[in-house]
Amino acid sequence: MSPHDPLTPYGNKPMVTPIVNAVNYEYASFEVLRKITEGEVDGYTYHRDDNPTVRAVEKIIARMEGAEDCIVCTTGMAACTMVFLTYLNAGDNLIIFHDVYGANYKVSLILERFGVDVTWLNADDSDNIDKYLKPNTKMIFLETPTNPLCKIVDIAAMRAAADKCGAKLIVDNTFATPYHQLPLTLGADMVIHSATKALGGHNDLMAGAIATSKDYYNELWFTRQAIGTTMDAYQASLLERGLKTVDLRCEKMAANAQVMAEFLNDHPKIPRVCYPGLKNDPGHEVAKKQMTRGFGGVLAFDVEDDIEKAKAFINALDVIYHAVSLGSTESLICIPFLTTMVYLPEERRTTFGVKKNTVRLSAGIENPDKLIEDLKQALNKI
């Protein structure tokens, strides 16, 4: 960079990307303006178009996911919606799994109003996806591990299915993170993150990210610029800070989740544990094939046989926080039926395996002995 660049005023690079709050930028000349607007140089004109702090974060996430580029936006749901709006038209068929974040159901209602045909599948039925493919299927959208039951979907198999009808394959990698899984190497066209979760990691920002090819980046950039989902520079700075420790945190969260899953798997008051790191988990073998360095920091389990027991268990916890979200430094627990799935009609919340007494636990980076002791004492009280 030039020594006169405002980001490097003395010719040396700051250790932290400066927070550039500018809404607009002065042009050095009409020729510079032309180069920026025609994409010849990485310049800036207006914040809704691009921002240097935001752009720095995009390049970091792209490297992490092995992508050519990445576009970040205001929230994880903004990222999902941008993908739908960019690549689905009236008359197209979208295949999406029930086992995704519940707010996608609300977006699907909007898409249906615009003439998109939406097919909902249980992730357990992913092996039979061929029978749901249609000539107009243009997109397959999935999470793996899924939210909240941590089911595993074979990404390579979904790529083969998508190729049969020329569909795009979109993988939400929020639960796995790039530390554990790289969907682009397995055939995904785009990888989505709610960067609010593990990428940020500190419960203090909201962001979404889409890692993909340069061509798809350009198309998604058009949508972001048009609808105004560009994130602000301060949030981008917080996200950059979180990304500096994401590998360390993900390693610790996965280790804590494994320890807690193994403890709960042997407890008489816990009839079911869902975590791909358990050898008896239905998705374990596929997870071993497509995940690395652990199986993520989230698990789900049933408490006794009714929701009141699950509530009593959560109320008795001292170290683990009763809160939504996941991927943070603190361990968080919630009942999906009452929180993350509240967007769905009540009759749809339990159709794919979630029960009223199912809880979702996102492991933090605490001492694992303290977490196990907290689980023990809470279970002893119900």
Catalytic residues: 48, 101, 172, 197
Q: Provide the edge-to-edge strand list for the sheet that holds 321-322.
A: 272-274, 298-302, 358-362, 332-334, 321-322
Q: How far is Cα 247 from Cα 250, in angstroms, rounded to an integer?
A: 5
Residue 369 one-letter amino acid = D
- Give the length of the chain: 382
Helices (H), 277-365: 284-290, 307-315
Count CB-CB contacts under 10 A for residue 325: 18
Exposure pattern of 253-287 as b/e (b: 16+ CB <10 Å)? bbbbbbbbbebbbeeebbeebbbbbbeebebbebb
Which sign does the torsion angle of CA 80, 148, 105, 125 carry?
Answer: positive
Strand partners, 361: 299, 333
How much of the chain is in helix, strand and coil states, percent to nearest 5? 40, 15, 45
Distances in whole angstroms, Cα of residue 331 to Cα of each of 229, 230, 292, 366: 30, 30, 22, 8
